[in-house]
Each structure stands twice: as C-alpha cells, then as structure tokens.
Amino acid sequence: MKKERLFTPGPTMVPEDVLLEMAQPMQHHRTAWYRQMHEELHGLLQYLFQTKATCLTFTGSGSAAAEAAIVGCCPPGHKALVVVNGKFAERWEKVCATWSIDHTALPIDWGHGAKVADIQKAMDADPKIDTVIVVHSETSTTALSDVEGIAKLTRDRGAILIVDGITAVGAIPVKMDDWGVDAYITGSQKALMLPPGLAFVAVSDRAWERIESGKMPTLYNDLKAYKKSLGTWDAPYTPAVTLVRGTLHVLRGVKERTLEGIWKETSLLAKATRAAAEAMGMKVYATDVVDSVTALLVPEGVDEGALRKTIRAKHGFQIAGGQGDLKGKIVRLSHMGYVDAFDTIGAIAALELTLAEQGYDKIGLGVAAAQRVFAEDLK
C-alpha cells in the first residue's frame, strides 16, 4: 500500500488533527458559538499577516478575495499598475479588464519577480497610477517579488499596494504593517494546510479610505459588507463553518510554532531541494527564487507528463507541472504546510527513481545533497 503525498503548491496536505477537528458535528453560524470563533480567528489572522488591520474571511478561493480587494480599491477615478510575471498575475490583469478598471499591465519575464526599479519606472511614466497590484510569490513560476521595497515606494508616493500572497503568507516572511502593504491576500489550501474553500484578505486603514470613498457594483465579494458584519463577528453570507473551524485550529498551532520558526523550516526545505536539483544536474527555473515552492526544468529527453504520472502511480507523490508557456517544461514541488525533511527526501528519491526510468539516471545524488543540507542545519 502506498501513502499519497501531495507536493503540489495547492492544495497541500492536510494534517490528521485538522481533519478530525473539521469532522466535529456541524453547528449553526448565526450563533454566539460562531461569533466567538470568528472573533478569535480575526486576532489570529492579524498575527498571520503581522498586522493590526481588518482581516476578512471569504467563502471561496483566493481569487474571490483578490477580486474583492482589486475591485474595492479601484473605483472610477483611480488607475492601477498590474505587474504581469506569471499565470496568476495574468488573472489580476484580467480582473481589471473584466471590471473596466483603468489599468496598465507591466510585463516582466516569467521566472523573475518585480523589483522596485520596475515599479518606479512605470509610475514615473504615468502619474495617474495610484494603485499597484503585485504577486509576492508567483506560484506558476516560483518567482519572488520585492514586496518590502515596492511597499516603501508606494507609501512614499501615496499609492495603494495590493499583494497576492497566496503562496507567501504563512510560508515566507510577510510583514504587512512593517512594510506598509495595503491589502494582503491568501487562501486556505496553501501554507494553511486546509482544503480549498476559504480566502482571506487583510485591509489597511488607507485602503478602507479608498474603498469607502467609491462605489463599485459588487454584491457577494463586497468588502464593505464583510467589514460591516465583522462589527458583530458575523458574516454577510453563509460561511464555510467547517473550514472556519479548521482554520482556527491551524492558526492556534501556527502561533504556537511561531511564524519565524515556520519561515525557517520552509526555507530549509527549499534549500535542500535546490541543492538536490543541482547535484542531479537539474536547473532551477526561477531567477528570483521563492522558498514556498520550487520549479525544476525537466531534463532534455524526459517526458514531463509521463514523469508526473509515473511518480504518482508508482511512488504516491503528486507534483505539479507547468502552466501556460511552461506546460511540459517544468515540475513544481511545494515546501508549504504539512511537509518535513523526510517527506522532502522521499520526494527527491521518488523523482530520481522516476527520472531513471526515462534514462536520466542520477539515483542517490539528489538525496545525498539534500541530506547534507539537513545535517548541516542540525549542527
């Protein structure tokens, strides 16, 4: 019998204790029980985002919270700059186009993150830009953007910064208030180790001034409605009660482990995976690497689709392929959530065995390199 191990960058593996917590009898959401749970959840979300800002919980995927933040922060009379450096960044540009939001797309080569100079140049060229939308960790390319530096720039210029932190929050350093980000977004099925179905957005006071000054034709994803309900720790629509309960359980554990500890663990798993790839002669795809997920270029002569199919069927590891122009060219391995050093060594061993079946025989090289990284950390 094989164990199934999810190494995809969402959904990620869900711990057994979280599954058991969510298996408790259903309770009604218009009750004091739910309101008390929601109040505690809000405080823990503030810890997660490292903020004193208002934190909202949506029933939906991360895209629901991202759309809500973008639409709410960009009423008529405002112009957004959308950094487009991957498949998910393209989605936020599509949100702007769909809602007829005045915007400019800033294309950046895939595999690269946004830099302060990129944003500054675009804002210098168009003084109308007063909103910047950027992906912190572009899941499709595994590239990291300089959110801290970009936030300083937008603050200095009085612009609003909206950040997709869907594979960043809870995995790598995120410091909303210290950096000066105005809206930070994440989803339940990534570093939070939960099933898909919840999205979270932390919204700064500066952003609320913008949101409340304008009007956009939203209903279900209306930030104002969620904020109003938060006044009584309620929800404007039926929440995913089971997932909210699971999130509360997860975030209690996150605070106990500390974010700093989790960031360190994630970084170590990524470092070991990159060392393994180098030893195996595989190239890391991204130039500006992020620690939450690693993309590796598939060696020449290896069938990427067959590779992923075999590694799952024979060894029980499910890894992700590429999207868009990267389809068939890369594989992606997650370092988020319920995964440790031995899971990672196992994934590398399974990758070596599966590659060897297609004639790319590097058995033992990657595992040894990863073990050396972990051994060095124990000293």
Range(s) of the domain holding residue 218: 16-257
Mean pLDDT of 305-325: 96
354 and 364 part of one domain:
yes
CB 191 within 8 A of CB 12: yes
**Helix/strand/coil (H, E, C) string of 308-377?**
HHHHHHHHCEECEECCHHHCCCEEEEECCCCCCHHHHHHHHHHHHHHHHHCCCCCCCHHHHHHHHHHHHH
97 and 42 part of one domain:
yes
300: which strand partners? none
pLDDT at 216: 82
pLDDT at 40: 98
228 and 265 part of one domain:
no
Give whole-number Cα distances, 100 to 70, 93, 96, 141, 217, in Å. 12, 11, 6, 27, 11
203 and 264 part of one domain:
no
Q: What is the pLDDT of residues 89-129, one digit of tens each?
A: 999 999 999 999 999 999 999 999 999 999 999 999 999 99
Mean pLDDT of 345-354: 98
Q: What is the pLDDT of residues 51-94, one digit of tens each?
A: 999 999 999 999 999 999 999 999 999 999 999 999 999 999 99
- Asked which of 218, 235, 257 is the last residue of a domain, the reply is 257
Q: What is the pLDDT of residues 16-52, one digit of tens each?
A: 999 999 999 999 999 999 999 999 999 999 999 999 9
pLDDT at 193: 98
- Asked which of 230, 257, 284 is the last residue of a domain, the reply is 257
In three-state secondary structure terms, 186 is: strand
pLDDT at 379: 85
Peptide bond into 11 cis (omega under 30): yes
Q: Which two tokens stand for residue 357?
A: 């079946």
Mean pLDDT of 316-341: 97
What band does 2 get if pLDDT is binned at 50, 70 and 90?
confident
Query: Integer distance in angstroms from the first to the last C-alpha of the chain?
Result: 36
Judged against a pLDDT cut of 80, whether residue 1 lies above it is answered with no
- Asked which of 204, 222, 257 is the last residue of a domain, the reply is 257
Q: Which two tokens stand for residue 181?
A: 């980000």
108: which strand partners? none
CB 161 within 8 A of CB 154: yes
What band does 205 get if pLDDT is binned at 50, 70 and 90?
very high
Q: How many domains does the chain have?
A: 2
Question: Residue 230 sits in a domain of what CATH number?
Answer: 3.40.640.10
Q: What is the mean pLDDT of the chain?
A: 97
pLDDT at 237: 96
132 and 199 part of one domain:
yes
The whole-angstrom separation of Cα 100 and Cα 97 is: 5
The whole-angstrom separation of Cα 369 and Cα 330 is: 21
